[in-house]
Structure 1
Amino acid sequence: MDSVRTCVGCRARAPRATLTRVVAVGLQVVVDERGSMPGRGAWVHDTSECVDAAIRRRAFGRALRVSGSLDTQTLQNHFQRNG
C-alpha cells in the first residue's frame, strides 16, 4: 500500500505517487525529481492550480518550516512547462 500525503495547495489527501515533492534549497523552492533530496519536503499535486493556491496561502514556508520569503519562480516555471 502506498503511503498517503497531503497536498499543501488544495489540502486533499492523496497517494504519494500522485503528488510531487518539493524542498527548500536556501530560500528557493525546487522540485525533488527523485524524491531523495535531503531536508524537509512538502507535497503538491502536479497542477498549476494547487501550486498557485499554495503560494497564495504561503503554505510552502509553513510546510518546509522556512522563515522569510521563499522564491517560488523555479517551481512555477516547472509546473507551467509540464502542466
Structure 2
Amino acid sequence: MSGRTRVRLCPERTCVGCRQRTAKGDLLRIAVVGDECVADPRGTLPGRGAYLHLDMACYDLAVRRRAFPRAYRSQGPLGTERLRQCVAQAEHIDTTSSTSSTTGK
C-alpha cells in the first residue's frame, strides 16, 4: 500500500444544453421513448441517457443546437414538447420555492 487514501468523487455528467460538467444529481436525465424525449428523474428508463439542467436556457440551447438527436445518435428529429413542459414546470417550482425561502414565508 502506498498510504494514500482514495477520494471518492461524485459522478459527473455534461449538460447537453450549456455543455457544463455538473454533479449527476443536479441534472435531469432524459431518455427516448419512441420518437419522444422524456424526463427520467429516477434514471430507470432503458437505453441511452442525456442530461440537462432544469433551466429553460439550457433546454433552448439544446434544441437550437440539435443536441438531443446527436446525444441519442438518432437519424431523425425527436419530439421535445413534453420535455419542454417538464423543464418549464420544474423551473417555475424552483423559482417559487427560492423566492418563498428568501422572503421567509
TM-score, scaled to structure 2: 0.76
Q: How many aligned residue pairs are there?
A: 83
Deviations 1:6-62, CA, capped at 9 Å, x for gaps: 000000000101111001111100000211110000001111110110001000101
State the percentage of identical aligned residues.
45
**Displaced runs of 4 or more, over 3 A:** none
The structure whose residues are more often strand, as a share, is 1
Note the residue ranges of structure 2 that are not aligned, 5 or more in a row: 1-8, 92-105
Whose RCO is larger (CA < 8 A, sep 6+)?
A: 1
In the alignment, which residue of structure 2 is the partner of 1:15?
Answer: 23
Note the residue ranges of structure 1 that are not aligned, 5 or more in a row: none
TM-score, scaled to structure 1: 0.95
Any idea what SS the aligned residue of 2:32 has?
A: strand
The structure whose residues are more often helix, as a share, is 2
